[in-house]
Amino acid sequence: MRSWLCWTGLLLLSCRDGSDRPDLGTVSPRVDAGVRDAASPDATGPDGGFEPGGRVLLKGTVVTPDEVYEGEVMTQGAFIVCAGAGTSCSSSAEAAGATVFDTEGVIAPGLIDTHNHILFDIFDDEDWLPSRSYTNHDMWPSEERYAAMLDVKQCLEDASQGKPAWCPAKYDGEGDLKCELNKWGELKGLIAGTTSIVGLPGTSAACFASLARSVDSPQNGLGQDRIQTSATFPPSRSSADGVCANFADGDTRAYLVHAGEGIDASALREWDQLGSASTDPGCLYDAKTTITHGTAFTSAQFDAMAAAGMKLTWSPASNVALYGTTTDIPSALSAGVTVSLAPDWSMGGSQNMLDELRFANGWDDSVWGDQLSAQDLIVMSTINAAAVLGLDDQLGRIAVGMRADLAVFAGDPSRPYDAIVNATPRDVRLVMVGGESLFGDLSFEGAAPLWPGCEHVDICGVQKFLCAATWDTANKLDQTFEEIQAALEAALVELDQVTLDDGYSFAPPAPIFRCP
């Protein structure tokens, strides 16, 4: 997906509580480009650094996610080359020269976020929350503070539509910060064990080819993009017809459409409107279609979805913030609908997949009487999510031949699903995307790329390595975490000054994590 990474500096960050932002602190001098400290005592490798395409062997409690076993997973390059209950990867000839880690944790597929408005993720609850509960998605965008926040985002990304007239010309064209906005959202996901994100960024950009997979863009590291999305409803006739044509010729493997978002009759009518959106009636009622939200849907719609093989993405935290309730997941599951879980965005939604898992678990316990197990939630966040994307042949499972998108979590190995559901970024020991170790405890840094190195960050009292930059100096791919944060912070401070008259302030950017 990306070439091998980062310069090494020491970045000291303190957690932000309700009002304080992370303190950048100091950055240590760069180390020599080709030199890395010796591997930690629990890691063994042929030398002190990690070469691209090398092998990594992880030992621990493996969650596939369909089964759990004590065992090993070995990666080489971008793929898993050894895994399976009862399989000894370390005894194979291919393990010679591998970097070996006894993780003392839970090894799982990387989490997959199938619904995130990623360019908004510089904001969170402190920037905007709905002032009351609404009944459909056409109502809350009229809130004044939301409109002011939207203007800031549109300005920084140099949006083709809806860009405010007051936006400084410096953010036009090559001066826009769309790359930094996208990377900030991907960083929030990455440190929470998320390896793929449907970010709905609009037009794609070459700078998306780093960090978590921008899975709904050509820069997803998978060789092709066959995912189409629609964040507005209803889709236009031409858009709907184009999707149906792409279904027929195989160009589109997944269509993710917002529908049924709300709790009133107008939101419920969107099911019928989806069927009439295309010239060929009902062609969007297809197994490749996933409904994002479906909050207004009843068993009748879920039965029809299941009959067509359609899927559902559930975003409970955002639903509850906006509408006071969420999608009837027990009814959807009873009908046989495949369900994925995703956070939507950071304002009223969750800051990452781990937060969304905990919210979903709490809602299920308190409202539905604990009908969903921790395993159910992890399946929604991995293999079901991959199925939503039409990528379950590459992502979402630990098996030979699958992409080496992995996360290691601390926690009780005797309760591995609960360990993941209860985790925070502090508990994320390692994250690999396409076989590259991009984030984790310092004890795993022996698997991090040699060049240009990685930064060190403090995540709620635990030192972690974070590899944000790549060796490629084009398309902002060489930006460090510190540089991304500094650019966004300076821009938000400037725009607060430009828009003093509106009375709203959006600096600094929301942190990439909040300590519990």
Return residue ranges of the chain for CATH 3.20.20.140.
226-333
Q: Is the pLDDT of residue 21 over 90?
A: no
Distance (Å, whole) CA 516 – CA 512: 13
Mean pLDDT of 29-33: 23
Q: Is the pLDDT of residue 282 over 60?
A: yes
Return residue ranges of the chain for CATH 2.30.40.10.
9-112+402-468
Q: Is the pLDDT of residue 34 over 70?
A: no
Run of H or E including 68:
strand 68-76
Q: What are phi and psi of 468, to 5 degrees?
A: -95, -35
The pTM for the full model equals 0.90
Q: Given the DSSP bridges, would you call strands 462-466 and 311-314 parallel, antiparallel or unpaired?
A: unpaired
How many Cβ atoms sit within 10 Å of the Cβ of residue 271? 20
Mean pLDDT of 485-494: 98
pLDDT band at 52 (very low <50, low <70, confident <90, very high): low
Tens of pLDDT along 355-405?
999 999 999 999 999 999 999 999 999 999 999 999 999 999 999 999 999
Q: Is the pLDDT of residue 46 over 80?
A: no
Contact 198, 214 (CB under 8 A): no
325 token code pair: 């309730």
- Average pLDDT of the chain is 90
Q: Given the DSSP bridges, would you call strands 455-459 and 462-466 parallel, antiparallel or unpaired?
A: antiparallel
CATH 3.20.20.140 assigned to 226-333:
yes
Contact 76, 53 (CB under 8 A): yes
Q: Given the DSSP bridges, would you call strands 254-259 and 289-293 parallel, antiparallel or unpaired?
A: parallel
Q: What would be the CATH architecture of the domain defined by 9-112+402-468?
A: Roll (2.30)
